[in-house]
Amino acid sequence: MLKIEDLWVDIHGKEVLRGINLHIGRGETHCLFGKNGSGKTTLLMTIMGFSGYEIKQGRISFKGQDITKTPLNERSAMGAGLLFQRPPTLRGVKLKDMLAVCRRGKDDSGLAEQLAVKYGFDRFLEREVNLGFSGGEIKKSELLQLLAQNPDLTLLDEPESGVDIENLQIIGDMIRKLLQKDIHRNRQKSGLIITHTGFILNYVAADRGHVMLDGQIYCQGNPLEIFEGIQKYGYEECVRCRQ
C-alpha cells in the first residue's frame, strides 16, 4: 500500500526527516511512536503531499505508483486520507456540506451521518467545521470526514489526544470501521497511527510499531512490546539499543 524509501525532508531549510524507510502492506495497521519534535507529523504531511515539506531525496510509492511529485488532491483521490494533529477551522462551511465534499464520487452509503446519529453527534452537522468544537469533538469531526472519504490508506496523527475515556471507545470504534478491523480475511484498508499514550491500541490492534527519533526510524517491531519498553526505559533505551 505504501512504500517509503530513503526519504529526506527539509522544512524552511531545516533537515527534519533523515532517511526514512517504511513499508505498510495492504490491510496492515502500523503505529508510530516518538519524542515531541522528532518528525512524526512531518512524515504524515509529506506522505499526503502538503506544500512546505521539501523532499531532498527519496521516494514515496502508493499502491505501486510513484507519488513523490504527485499533488495532494491527486493523492487524496487515489485514496490517501489524513486526520490532522491540529486541523484548520473552516468558517462558512457546515460539517454536513464538508461530508458531502469528502464523499464526492464515492459510494454514497451515508455511513458518516449514520455514525453521527449513533454517537449523538448529528447536531454538529449544522455547525461550521471545527469552529468552537472541543478537542474531542474535533477528533470526531475529523473521523466523520474520513469515513465519508473512505480512504484506502488512513494517516492518523494522535487521534486520541484530548479525548476522554468514554469517547475514546467511540473514536476507537470509528477507526476500526475506517480500517475494516472487523474483516479478518482480505482486509483492504491500511493505517498509520501516531500515538504518545498508546491508549488507542486498546481499541485498534496494530500489526507493527516504529519509533522515530530525530528524523530517523530507530526501531521496528511488535507495537505493544515497543510501547512497554518506552514506558519502562524511555526513548534513551531506543538509542542505546540501536547502538
Ligand X SMILES: Nc1ncnc2c1ncn2[C@@H]1O[C@H](COP(=O)(O)OP(=O)(O)OP(=O)(O)O)[C@@H](O)[C@H]1O
Q: Are 158 and 196 in contact (CB under 8 A)?
A: yes
Rounded to a whole number of angstroms, the minimum distance from the CB of residue 206 to ligand X is 17
Interface mask (CB under 6 A) for ligand X, residues 81-110, using x and -? ----x-------------------------
Which residue's CB is nearer to Mg ion, number 113 or number 160?
160
Q: Are 98 and 156 in contact (CB under 8 A)?
A: no
CA dist., res. 158 & res. 153, Å (int): 16
Rounded to a whole number of angstroms, the minimum distance from the CB of residue 233 to Mg ion is 22
Cell numbers given for 16: 527534519
Residue 42 within binding range of ligand X, rule CB under 6 A: yes
* CA end-to-end distance (rounded Å), the chain: 31
Residue 16 within binding range of ligand X, rule CB under 6 A: yes
Q: Are 128 and 93 in contact (CB under 8 A)?
A: yes
Which residue's CB is nearer to ligand X, number 168 or number 194?
194
CA dist., res. 220 & res. 21, Å (int): 11
Tell me the chain's radius of gyration from C-alpha atoms.
18
Q: Which residues contact 44 (CB under 8 A, 6 or more apart)?
A: 82, 155, 157, 192, 194
Which residue's CB is nearer to Mg ion, number 40 or number 140?
40
Which residue's CB is nearer to ligand X, number 42 or number 167?
42
Choose one: 32-40, 100-108, 168-176, 230-238; the region binding ligand X (CB under 6 A). 32-40
Residue 37 within binding range of ligand X, rule CB under 6 A: yes
Which residue's CB is nearer to ligand X, number 27 or number 215?
215
Rounded to a whole number of angstroms, the minimum distance from the CB of residue 85 to Mg ion is 5
Choose one: 34-42, 94-102, 108-116, 171-179; the region binding ligand X (CB under 6 A). 34-42
| Near Mg ion by CB under 5 A: residue from 76, 85, 161, 180 | 85
CA dist., res. 155 & res. 48, Å (int): 9
Residue 115 parent element (H or E): helix 111-118
Residue 220 within binding range of Mg ion, rule CB under 5 A: no
User: 37 is in the binding site of which of Mg ion, ligand X, none (Cβ under 5 to 8 A by kind)?
Assistant: ligand X
Residue 14 within binding range of ligand X, rule CB under 6 A: yes
- For the sheet containing 14-24, what is the strand order? 14-24, 2-11, 54-62, 65-66
Q: Which amino acid is at 50?
A: F
Residue 198 within binding range of ligand X, rule CB under 6 A: no
Shortest Cβ contact with Mg ion: which residue? 41
CA dist., res. 160 & res. 98, Å (int): 22
Residues engaged in binding Mg ion (CB under 5 A): 40-41, 85
Residues engaged in binding ligand X (CB under 6 A): 11-12, 14, 16, 34, 36-42, 85
